[in-house]
């Protein structure tokens, strides 16, 4: 998979934007500065002050068992990195605080791996974003089999913002011929807006998406 196969979408206070700040690693960059948080590809996250990388492990608020992964570098030294699997598998958001910024990250496994994040600035500005393979600003036409609109809906379900109520049924499987029974189910999910996401709501979303995906994939696409 080439780097160009990955993309992201970024929102500031619920409005689509694009942070012009460049950091060493980042498909999506959140933050007013000088503190920035970036998402890269499907699972990677990084924290920066100006252009200097900050060790995320030092600023995690909810340290789950096994949250550190150790490996031996080429020079023989032992390196420590975040083990995002423990947060993904337990449906638990990663919580980070740094210099007055509150950062929340959801690592998900849906039809692929994605990362969703929110950064709340000290002045109240709210940055949200997601990144992944075949989704985001570079793939608004769904050139691959993955659905950018669905990722946007999921972002606002995980991080609700007033005035951006979930309209999941408006965009879900927009290229498919969905029977009334499946469409009705998605509408019921959509109207049950999640005000504050927790591990149970994310597990329900993940399980529901997987069930619906299985049904949709067995149907012929509309021409």
pLDDT tens over the chain, length 223 residues: 444 677 788 999 988 887 778 887 777 899 999 999 999 888 899 999 988 999 999 999 999 999 999 888 888 888 889 999 999 999 999 999 999 999 999 999 888 899 999 999 999 999 999 988 877 776 665 556 677 888 888 898 899 877 655 443 333 333 333 333 333 333 333 333 333 344 445 555 555 555 555 554 554 444 4
Please tell me the number of Cα atoms within 13 Å of 142 on its side-chain side. Answer: 14
Q: How many domains does the chain have?
A: 1
* 88, part of any domain: yes
Residue 222 lies in a domain: no
- Retrieve residue 82's tokens: 């975040």
Structural domain including 190 reads 3-217
> In this predicted structure, what is the pLDDT of residue 208?
54
The verdict on residue 54 lying in a domain is yes
Residue 71 lies in a domain: yes
Domain presence at residue 223: no
Q: Where are the alpha helices (DSSP H) in 13-122?
A: 85-89
Query: What are residue 143's phi and psi, to 5 degrees?
Result: -60, -30
Instruction: State the distance between the two ends of the chain, measured CA to CA, in whole angstroms.
Output: 29
CB atoms within 10 A of CB 200: 9
Q: Is residue 194 part of a domain?
A: yes
* pTM score of the predicted model: 0.70
Residue 135 near residue 155, CB atoms below 8 Å: no
Q: Are 10 and 28 in contact (CB under 8 A)?
A: yes
Pairing of the two strands 15-17 and 6-12? antiparallel
Residue 62 placed within a domain? yes
Residue 120, domain member (yes or no): yes
């Amino acid at each position: 998979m080439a780097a160009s196969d990955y993309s992201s979408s970024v929102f500031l206070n619920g409005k689509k934007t694009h942070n012009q700040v460049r950091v060493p690693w980042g498909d999506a960059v959140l933050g007013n500065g000088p503190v920035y948080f970036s998402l890269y590809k499907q699972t990677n996250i990084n924290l920066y002050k100006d252009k200097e990388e900050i060790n995320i492990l030092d600023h995690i608020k909810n340290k789950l068992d096994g949250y550190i992964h150790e490996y031996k570098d080429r020079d023989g030294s032992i390196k420590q990195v975040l083990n995002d699997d423990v947060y993904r598998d337990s449906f638990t958001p990663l919580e980070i605080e740094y210099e007055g910024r509150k950062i929340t990250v959801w690592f998900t496994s849906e039809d692929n791996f994605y990362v969703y994040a929110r950064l709340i600035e000290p002045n109240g500005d709210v940055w949200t974003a997601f990144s992944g393979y075949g989704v985001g600003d570079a793939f608004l036409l769904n050139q691959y089999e993955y659905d950018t609109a669905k990722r946007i809906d999921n972002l606002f379900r995980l991080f609700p913002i007033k005035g951006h109520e979930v309209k999941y049924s408006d965009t879900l499987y927009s290229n498919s011929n969905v029977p009334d029974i499946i469409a009705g189910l998605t509408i019921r999910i959509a109207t049950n807006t999640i005000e504050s996401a927790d591990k149970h709501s994310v597990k329900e979303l993940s399980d529901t998406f997987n069930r619906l995906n299985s049904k949709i994939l067995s149907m012929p696409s509309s021409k």
